Structure 1
Amino acid sequence: MKKKNKICTAIVSIILAILFISPFYLVLVNSFKTQKGIFSDVIGLPGESFTLNNYVEAFKHLDFIKSFTNSLLITVFSVVIIIIFTSMAAWMLVRTKSKVSTFIFLMFSASMLIPFQAVMLPLVAMAGKIHLLNPVGLVFMYLGFGTSLSVILYHGFIKSIPKEIEEAAAIDGCNKFQTFWIIVFPLLKPTTVTVSILNSMWIWNDFLLPQLVINRPEWQTIPLKMFYFFGEYSKRWNLALAGLVIAMIPIVVFYLAMQKYIIKGIVQGSVK
């Protein structure tokens, strides 16, 4: 019976793996074909239609260096600000045991249930009035939307840190600011890595918020460039698919390099 269950599980796993991998396979394989090669054989390998010119043209038309720099700067500044504010907020919520702190934490948790679409129009209208429809405003918006999950992750981990460590630091003459950044924050490294990875992947791939906020071509991120690129080259699938592969490479490399920290950090933050 156990053997049959293992066989069934293996078959289901293989089928699911094929379903998930097949879109990536089609995009990658067809990105190396000519337009004629794609329409003649979508599933097969490039063969005689193999070409690298698709990537050269897509790289140029995407203005990849500029859009990559925009995405990188927005992502890095957003993640750094999220880490700074949410780690301090979670620490104060844990150490300040009162009904107010409990209520604030519940508000952070409840805000995760509110969909972005419910607030995007008032948010953009307000941002336009105070002249924040630019990358700086986008960073502050990411701070607001990324706070809830980050606070929850930090909150769970900080509860495992003995309060005696902080009391010893206070006896040695540390103020609250020094206690947190010198004593507590280094202990939060596993959760900090997890928070940075999850927020980096979300911000890097985000399309809707940058489309609403960024109104100049020179500020466009990679997802925005890809949107307009597909609009321009939707009939030239060889260039469009090559551009899609170029856009995916940075975040795929980042995820593969950091994936072992994601589950580790989440488990530590939730269990402890």
Structure 2
Amino acid sequence: MRKYGLPTFLLEILAISLAIVFLVPFYYVISNSLKTYADILTNTSAWPKVFNWNNYVMAWENMNYGKVFFNSLLVTVGSNLVIVLFCSMAAYKLVRTKSRLSSAIFFIFVAAMVIPFQSIMIPLVKVTSSIGLLNSIWGLVIMYLGFGSGLSIFLYHGFMKSIPVELEEAAIIDGCSPFMVFWRIVFPLLKPITVTIMILNSLWIWNDFLLPSLVLQDEALRTIPLATFFFFGQYTKQWDMALAGLMLGIIPLLSFFFAMQKHIIKGVTSGSIK
């Protein structure tokens, strides 16, 4: 059994210190979301003496939270479905097709992850406007498919290498078509990495502000980050309601993450062991 020594103690102190550093912003958001506007300006760091829950009521009403929550949920779920559907099939074909072309295509998907979004932002808006995808929830979902394909295919690609080809060969001998082999044999085995990809993409898509702000111009299509942004005007900043709105947007995602976080490590490590 490993002894508890000075290096372990110092490592624990470092880990606790880093945890505190990362938790400090959460403290400020939570504490100030329960203060009045005057109290926020007076002392930002202090814990509220009286919890002002009216901030959450006002934020809920001003954001039209039910509508923007549905929009965020629709975008996140729809994007995850199309990413999992197309990227799993694409990765499967790239893994099982041994050729220079498949290797080149895989490299292109991986290389696309390093391209800054800001460099293609203006051409993206022009192209989407010309083909009728601007100001559309489903147009936004298609764009998330494009931007999320690189990482998703990369993770699927690594995981599929651990699946024995003999399973597929046995299914083909039993009369399965290539389509049935993938959906009945391969795809169920991809559950750990599929959950991991859905979690990572949900964290990104739910919190994304820049892409929806470029695509969704109609007020009825706003997502939670867009609705929260409108608490900040040119001359006024409604910090009390804005912070409450941030908490309303964070709570569903935190609940989802804590419920599913164990699958992240399981999915990533499973793909690294053959």
Specify the SS of the correspondent of 2:261.
helix
Q: Which runs of 5+ in 2 are unaligned?
A: none
Q: Which residue does 1:258 correspond to in 2? A: 260
Conserved? CA contact 2:231–2:241, under 8 Å: no
Counterpart among 144, 147, 156 of residue 146 in structure 2:
144
Conserved? CA contact 2:109–2:150, under 8 Å: yes
Q: Which residue does 1:88 correspond to in 2? A: 89
- Tell whether 2:59 aligns with 1:58: yes
Q: Which residue does 2:107 correspond to in 1? A: 106
In 2, Cα distance between equivalents of 1:187 and 1:228: 44
- Tell whether 2:269 aligns with 1:267: yes
Q: CA deviation at 1:202?
A: 0.8
In 2, Cα distance between equivalents of 1:255 and 1:71: 16
Q: Which residue does 1:126 correspond to in 2? A: 127
Q: Show structure 1 runs of 4+ deviating over 6 A.
A: none
* Deviation sequence 1:87-142 (CA, Å, 0-9, x none): 01111111111111111111111111111111121111011011110111111111
Which of the two has greater helix per residue?
1
In 1, Cα distance between equivalents of 2:37 and 2:230: 20
Conserved? CA contact 2:231–2:239, under 8 Å: no
In 1, Cα distance between equivalents of 2:79 and 2:208: 13
Counterpart among 192, 195, 211 of residue 194 in structure 2:
192
The one-letter code of the counterpart of 1:85 is F
Q: Which runs of 5+ in 1 are unaligned?
A: none
Specify the SS of the correspondent of 2:47.
coil
Conserved? CA contact 1:233–1:239, under 8 Å: no
The one-letter code of the counterpart of 2:101 is V
In 1, Cα distance between equivalents of 2:216 and 2:25: 30
In 2, Cα distance between equivalents of 1:78 and 1:243: 23
Over aligned residues, Cα RMSD in angstroms?
Answer: 1.7
The number of residue pairs the alignment matches comes to 270
In 2, Cα distance between equivalents of 1:243 and 1:98: 51
Specify the SS of the correspondent of 1:121.
helix
In 1, Cα distance between equivalents of 2:84 and 2:15: 36
Conserved? CA contact 2:30–2:247, under 8 Å: yes
**Mean alpha-carbon deviation: is it higher for 74-83 or for 235-244?**
235-244
Q: CA deviation at 1:178?
A: 0.8
Conserved? CA contact 2:68–2:227, under 8 Å: yes
Q: CA deviation at 1:232?
A: 7.7
In 1, Cα distance between equivalents of 2:97 and 2:167: 16
In 2, Cα distance between equivalents of 1:258 and 1:234: 39
The 1:168/1:117 distance shift into structure 2, 3 A limit, reads same
In 1, Cα distance between equivalents of 2:42 and 2:230: 27
In 2, Cα distance between equivalents of 1:232 and 1:29: 25
In 2, Cα distance between equivalents of 1:74 and 1:110: 25
Q: Which residue does 2:45 correspond to in 1? A: 43
Counterpart among 23, 26, 36 of residue 25 in structure 2:
23
In 1, Cα distance between equivalents of 2:219 and 2:97: 46
Identical-pair percentage? 55
The one-letter code of the counterpart of 1:145 is F
1:215-226 correspondence runs (5 A): 215-226=217-228
Conserved? CA contact 2:168–2:185, under 8 Å: yes
* TM-score, normalisation: structure 2: 0.93
* Deviation sequence 1:148-191 (CA, Å, 0-9, x none): 11111111111111111111111111111111101110011101
**Mean alpha-carbon deviation: is it higher for 32-41 or for 125-134?**
32-41
The one-letter code of the counterpart of 1:210 is P
In 2, Cα distance between equivalents of 1:11 and 1:147: 39
* TM-score, normalisation: structure 1: 0.94
**Mean alpha-carbon deviation: is it higher for 235-244 or for 196-205?**
235-244
